[in-house]
Amino acid sequence: MQIRELSIPDSYEITPRQFPDDRGVFLEWYRFDRLAEVVGHPLDLAQGNSSVSKRGVVRGIHFADVPPSQAKYVTAVHGAVLDFVVDVRVGSPTFGQWDSVLLDDVDRRAIYIAEGLGHCFVALSDNATVSYLVTSTFNAEREHGIDPTDPEIGLVFPEAAGDVLLSPKDTAAPSLAEAEAAGLLPTWGAARAYYEQLNGKA
- Provide the annotated active-site residues: 62, 132
Report the C-alpha gap between 190 and 139 in whole angstroms. 19
Query: Pairing state of beta strands 98-104 and 128-134?
Result: unpaired
CA distance 46 to 135: 5
What is the phi-psi region of residue 148: left when phi exceeds 0, alpha when psi lies from -120 to 50, beta otherwise? alpha
Report the DSSP beta bridge partners of residue 81. Answer: 103, 123
Decide if 89 contacts 188 (C-beta within 8 A). yes
4 Ramachandran zone, left/alpha/beta (phi>0; psi -120 to 50): beta
